[in-house]
Amino acid sequence: MPFSSEILDLPLSWARTDIAAPRLRTLRLPLSRRTWVPCADAPLDWPFRRIFEERLRSLPRGFILQGCNKTLARYVLGQGGQTAQVGVEALLTMDAPPKASLLDLARRGRRWGEVRALRPTDDNRAKMNALWEATVHGSKPRLQCAFRTDFDASVRGFALVGPNDDWLGAMTISTMKPGYWHVELLLRRQDAPVGVMEALILDVQARLLAEGEQWLSLGATPFVTLRDPLTSEPCRVPWSPACRGRFIARTGRLLRFGYDYRGLYQFKAKFEPRWRPLHLCGWPDLPWRILPDLSWATRHLHLVGYAALQRMRR
């Protein structure tokens, strides 16, 4: 692998696939006028430096990346860019033994079916969409661009399937670098029995361990912050580098009625993951106008509006 000594990390929801050159999925943000790259397919041997220099740097008026770990954020800072901590990532070590209470939940979930690997066929895509509609969030606006929502050849799929061939829960995963897999979709049918999702995740973790993989990321939880390893200055000026992460977290907490990030955090915490900070990266800068841009593009504002209307009708 020609660039094995360089950074092979990628932003979350970027995936390494067997292609010759990167394929970037870009969106032009109207207020900040930056190019957002929420997803990309990258060749197996291209380091992040090469993608930055040959693909990202030439994007008009600069670019925005979400889900950057500390390694990527440091690199972008070193190239004259800016960052802001926007959440945390829940990372599982494949061979770490689950706690007894989690194993008990998984045993209860396995009574209702078995975990099957899925192929990205038209029939399975239709079942995945039907499961999404049957979740507790099925009637709400769907988030988009925050993670990979398509069940295609860039991801692997799994479902816990009941005796009547009904899907009780499903997940898709993508690979960011050798040994590292990241959860994209994680769906649970609203009336699924207790333990279904725990059984699904632990079974997939065991399969990946048997394949020699090292890490399974349960993905990002927004608006939760850790001590930012990239910022040592006190927070004094709004939207200064030291204040951005706190400002974003406080805004998300104010709008929690529209997106329950705390429930997501508590679910992932059951697996006792290693929590790592995640950053929003911008080059050459990170203007405040990206916040309404991203809220609209991901449909987070749609969720907030939907929740506000539901409250008004009660």
pLDDT at 2: 40
User: What backbone torsions phi and psi does residue 77 show, to the nearest 5 degrees?
Assistant: -60, -40
d(CA 171, CA 12): 16
Give, for all 314 residues of the chain, the pLDDT tens digit. Answer: 343 458 999 999 999 999 999 999 999 999 999 999 999 999 999 999 999 999 999 998 999 999 999 999 999 999 999 999 999 999 999 888 899 999 999 999 999 999 999 999 999 999 999 999 999 888 888 888 888 999 999 999 999 999 999 999 999 999 999 999 999 999 999 999 999 999 999 999 999 999 999 999 999 998 888 776 676 677 777 777 778 888 888 887 777 777 788 889 999 999 999 999 999 999 999 999 999 999 999 988 888 887 788 778 77
pLDDT at 270: 95
Structure token digits, residue 26: 């870009």
Q: Where are the domains of the chain?
A: 14-88+221-313, 92-218
In whole angstroms, how far apart are CA 159 and each of 113, 115, 117, 174? 10, 5, 7, 15
pLDDT at 301: 83
DSSP 153: T
| Contact between 231 and 77 (Cβ < 8 Å) | no
Report the predicted TM-score, pTM, of the whole model to 2 decimal places: 0.90
Q: β-strand 63-68 against 180-188: which pairing, if any? A: unpaired
What is the domain class of 92-218 according to CATH? Answer: alpha beta
